[in-house]
Amino acid sequence: MLATLSHPGDTHTLYYLLLFILRVGIVMCCHPATSLCFRSLGRPFIQSHSIHYQLRTHLRRALCIASPPPNRQFAMGSLAAADEPLPPLRYPPARRDGDIVDDYHGVLVPDPYRWMEELESEEVKEYVGAQAALANAVLATCDHRGRLRGQLTALLDHPRYRAPFKRAGTYFYFHNPGLLPHSALYVQHGLGGEPSVLLDPGELSDDATVSLSMIGVSDDGEHLAYGTSASGSDWVTISVMRVRDRRRLPDALSWVKFSRIAWTSDGMGFFYSRFPAPKDDDGAPESGIRTDVNLNHEVYYHFLGTDQSDDVMCWKDPEHPKYIYTPEVTEDGKYVLLSVSESSEPVNKLYYCDLSALSHGLSGMKAKGTHEMLPFVKLVDEFEAFYGVVANDGTRFTIQTNKDAPRYKLSRVDVDDPQSWTDVLPEDDKAVLEYACAVHGDKLLVNYLSDVKYVLQMRSLATGELLHGIPIDIGSVNGITGRRGDSEVFVEFSSFLTPGIVYRCDLSSGTPEMSIYREITVPGFDRTDFEAKQVFYPSKDGTKIPMFVVSRKKIVLDGSHPALLFGYGGFGMSMTPQFSAARVVLMRNLRFVTCVANIRGGGEYGEDWHKAGSLANKQNCFDDFIAAGEFLVSAGYTSPSRLCIEGGSNGGLLVAACINQRPGLFGCALAHVGVMDMLRFHKFTIGRAWACDFGCSEKEEEFHWLIKYSPLHNVRRPWEKGAAGDQQYPPTMLLTADHDDRVVPSHTLKFLATMQHVLCRSVEQSPQSNPIVARIDRKSGHGCGRSTQKIIDEAADRYAFAAKMMGVSWID
């Protein structure tokens, strides 16, 4: 998944990339930038008045796995000699509890591995250790592991930049000169000033497992508030730094989750969201271990230099404990906005509070010690559509919405006359309005997605009239930074064959003038050796599905090439072109053809496309992905024995469901942090928010949808079906991490135990000779916040496994 965002007033919620083909292959939705916040309800999003990313709900992309306890380290093992055979596969025993049987609407469903949900138990720790040892033994035979690690390290050893954003004449941006564990936040005074490091996340821990999860700079550029998370957890601690001398203030805010940092214009403090501290609060979240459901989100205002216990309670709603609140302050500083969500669905309520109308201001509320909440006005109080504020001129708000517009539009309303809604930019006949942001006074920069290709335009904020088209190559606009008071905008771009370009767009004249501000170059990568193209193939029901195919130039379509097929298909997330160092190594040294299928369930064609792959229509996602594999085989790109499929989070579910349904079509499967138990996902952390896409087993109709494809409940012995070519499952690697508190690790552990039992341990002389293993990372989470070295190590392991299993040779 790449990154996205969206928020009222200046950015749009970024939801994942949900994992994705970022820099080294599949990196789950993480993206350091201006006010980087890792997505509500499980997806990261960036915020601040200056950075805009691909829009779509602030709570929409949230799905990936968690792994067991941190005590057991995944041993990597030493590189084995070439062509070393696999060791005898002796799968660790896993106790099966036959007494655990659930009654779902009259259907009895056994759950023999329920004990694996107790992640801190010694039994689970021992099981994880045994599985890690097995995976280590298999990886030790993978011939190309060391070569992959070396090539990935070399390709990533180059400077990388994010788009800068400006506060009071000072520029801030993220930069990694090469192989630092994490990108550092830099500051420079003026566009030509000397940059210096403001905050290096690598200095926050000895082992690089503490990362930045959100930042927010005050309007005057004087203070930086930043959130850190340990080991990839969604739990965040917010700290504050004074920019001019890098002095860290004593402020420390705990139990923050699914939040953003929203400074008030006076620089006195900021709004944020948190959950109540648990009864056993020891002062800091136990990341990666707490799997209880997150309820009773609350909004607070924090004054600089004060203790968290003195923060002003601004909003809570005990009658609706599942609501999630995202505060934001408009660029003029007059209003605080509150987006209210209950799930990852692209719908929200929208409230506002006029800060200038408070009789004593926020400081007065604090001084009086009042328990009254802010007097929010409920502009939209129904979960009927998505509403994201783009800009306001006094009481007149410009809002991006999908109200009666599945491809999104811009509307305007005067909050003093809440019935005065009018369309400013109507829904396009074909293209999806990904985001819009107000820049340079009265201008509007909009980004459309048309057949998974971006179109960038400058329009009038007042009328929506097209002023200028802004030419860009086929690729992805990953970010736009700029404010209405600025005459410049920065645009971040990348594609399958473009590592990254930051454009500076000068708006001071009548015509936008684009120039390259920074361009990322990768030593050893020559884009002229490769080609990227888009194809359309028919799915099972005849629907045309787009897919990107990237490979070396002039390959012969004789079915001999190894291929990597990646997919996601959920939560309205669009899989757009992104550069990946791992993809380059696979194509250059292993001669892979790499493919990204834009299956239904995503947002590539708006909400209709999304809904065609969700709830009762979820099977369309699997049909689309299977059809992509069939197309690649029939078109001569590859053959079943050389076709590897990969996906993470919702994409991990996709991969697992597809190997259950068509095991003989694939030569290898890599499933990252997947949602595998579709009957119980809603019982842990923020899983309840995904019912909008999946349904919920507590409802009878939806249970019958889920039981048909739930990976955990549909493992069958292919040889008993009698289907030619489907005599066993493909070699399978399930990937998870011990601090993933989005999709708890029990999803992967239970699915792993079920596969090994049904296909191997319960059968004498089983035909299942292909290995089924799990790579369990230590001190990592759903994907965000991993260090450069962890990213390299995981990519080397999973692709070495795939190459070994499919018999792919290395070419220097």
Residues identified as active-site: 649, 740, 782
Strand order in the sheet with 772-777: 530-538, 544-552, 593-597, 563-566, 643-648, 668-672, 732-737, 772-777
Which of 147, 145, 148 shows the shortest CA–CA distance to 77? 145
Tokens standing for residue 162: 């994010």
Q: What is the C-alpha to C-alpha distance for residues 413 and 242, in angstroms, rounded to an integer?
A: 38
Reported as type and span, the H/E element at residue 26 is: strand 26-27
Cα angle at 675 between 672 and 679, to 5 degrees?
Answer: 160
CA pair distance 43, 61, nearest whole angstrom: 4
Q: What's the maximum distance between 2 C-alpha atoms anywhere in the chain?
A: 79
C-alpha torsion 725→731→733→734, nearest 10:
40
Q: Is 617 exposed, middle or buried (0-12, 13-18, 19+ CB in 10 A)?
A: middle
Can you point out the beta strands (E) in 417-566?
417-425, 432-439, 443-450, 453-460, 466-470, 476-481, 488-495, 498-506, 513-519, 530-538, 544-552, 563-566
Between CA 40 and CA 46 the distance in angstroms is: 10
Q: Write the single-letter amino acid at 221.
A: G
The count of C-alpha atoms lying within 13 angstroms of the C-alpha of 642, restricted to the half-sphere facing its C-beta, is 20
DSSP letter, residue 16: -
Check: CB of residue 327 under 8 Å from CB of residue 260: yes
Rounded to whole angstroms, how far apart are CA atoms 326 and 703? 31
CB neighbours (10 Å) of residue 25? 28
Reduce the secondary structure of 683-747 to three states and give it as a string. HCCCHHHHHHHHCCCCCHHHHHHHHHHCHHHCCCCHHHCCCCCCCCCCCEEEEEECCCCCECCHH
> What are the helix (H) ranges across 118-195?
122-139, 145-156
Rounded CA separation 196/6 (Å): 29
383 phi and psi, to 5 degrees?
A: -85, 75
Signed CA dihedral, 340, 293, 696, 663: sign only: positive
Question: How many whole angstroms separate alpha carbon 750 and alpha carbon 94?
Answer: 10
Separation CA 797–CA 773 (nearest Å):
12
d(CA 202, CA 222) in angstroms, rounded, equals: 23
The secondary element (H helix, E strand) that includes residue 771 is none
Cα gap 446→443, rounded to integer Å: 10
Instruction: Provide the β-strand partners of residue 446.
Output: 436, 457
Q: Is 620 left (phi over 0), alpha (psi -120 to 50) or beta?
A: alpha
The Cα 550–Cα 561 span in angstroms is: 12
Question: Token match 């400058």: residue?
Answer: 458
Strand boundaries in 218-358, DSSP class E: 223-230, 236-242, 247-256, 262-263, 269-274, 298-303, 312-315, 324-329, 335-341, 349-354
Q: At what angle do helices 788-806 and 122-139 cross, to 10 degrees?
A: 60
CA distance 652 to 671: 4
Q: Phi and psi at residue 726, in whole multiples of 5°?
A: -110, 55
